[in-house]
Amino acid sequence: MEKCALVLGLINVKGGVGKTTISSNISHILSVAGYKVLHIDLDPQGSSSELLKAQSKSGNQLSKDDIMNLDTFKLLSQPVSIQDYIFETRYENLHIIPNARGVESTYTLGTFDTRIAMLNYPNKYLAFYQNINQIRNQYDYIIIDGQPGMNEMMKVSIIASDYVVSPAAPDLYNLHTVDDTCNVIDLCNRDYGRDTEYLGFFLNNIPDLKDSAYLSVRDFYKESAKEYFIDNPIRFSKAINKSSLNNFLWLEYAMDYCISFPNPCKDLLRLIDKELGLFKEKKAVLLEKGIKEIYFD
């Protein structure tokens, strides 16, 4: 049977919750496990494009000008050859569509929302989904790093995704963003014939799992958001903070520089394996590379 990539969108209306960090590390871990992965950077800051080191065919890192010259607006709103937007990274099995700065940067043409509203193309909201379909048979997973905000780019990102999951801040203010996300998913499914599924949200960057404030937040969501709360927190650690400062991904840094395996790596492996079910038969590859079974439990 022909391969067909699963498309997972990391989407949250709120900014600063870790979508780029989590999505980049999920993409990398899946690629280390041996899956062919395409990471799509839709965050205008372009952080995951820099972190993953988007490269030209000759192996040179793409410059900001190279990325800016990509007409990402067309990719998201009109039929294009998506291969023209795909680049290698410094990691085996991991390709990238670099950041969407080109969408928002040319303000003389207007923002993405303004431009897509004016675009006279009947299937403009389905175009990104249809463009992705051109290369689904080339990848196992396609991971979308979504832009924050209730906007039209959020809509096209959701339409393109099979599943959506949200990193969230460890506070009590996530329910309305979950409701907003679910409402947009329902609207997209109804109006564009999609069946995107919301998997839920998990709390990110937790300093201490035994802290009373965190436990209160956890209990609140376990009671108030049973359907959508994923009880798999991602912890903060100084080691992981060092990895970001040195431009390493979590698993890369853990395997090369850490004596003991950092908590965020364990938490993310558990999320990918137990909650999202993405490893499947490839989990054995990670075990062979020294990722112990205990890290998944």
DSSP 164-187: EEEEE-SSS--HHHHHHHHHHHHH
Q: Rounded to a whole number, what is the largest CA-CA distance in the chain?
A: 57
For residues 158 and 195, is the Cβ–Cβ distance under 8 A? no
pLDDT value for 240: 83
Q: What is the mean pLDDT of each run of 10 residues along the chain (297 residues)?
A: 86 89 96 97 84 80 75 92 94 89 55 90 96 97 91 95 97 93 96 97 96 96 96 92 84 86 93 94 87 82
Provide the 3-class DSSP secondary structure of residue 80.
coil
Please report the pLDDT score of residue 297 as a whole number: 74
Cβ count near 123 (within 10 Å): 12
Torsion of CA 134, 137, 143, 148, to 10 degrees: 20
Element (H or E) spanning 285, and its range?
helix 283-288
Between CA 117 and CA 222 the distance in angstroms is 39
Q: What is the pLDDT of residue 102?
A: 52
Whole-angstrom distance, CA of residue 184 vs CA of residue 225: 18
State the pLDDT at residue 1: 46
pLDDT of residue 80: 96
**The pairing of beta strand 87-88 with beta strand 94-97:** antiparallel
Q: Are 72 and 102 in contact (CB under 8 A)?
A: yes
Nearest to 227 by CA among 255, 253, 199, 246: 199
175: buried, middle or exposed (CB in 10 Å: 19+, 13-18, 0-12)? middle
What structural domains does the chain harbor?
6-296 (3.40.50.300)
Burial of 119 (0-12, 13-18, 19+ CB in 10 A): middle
pTM of the full structure = 0.94
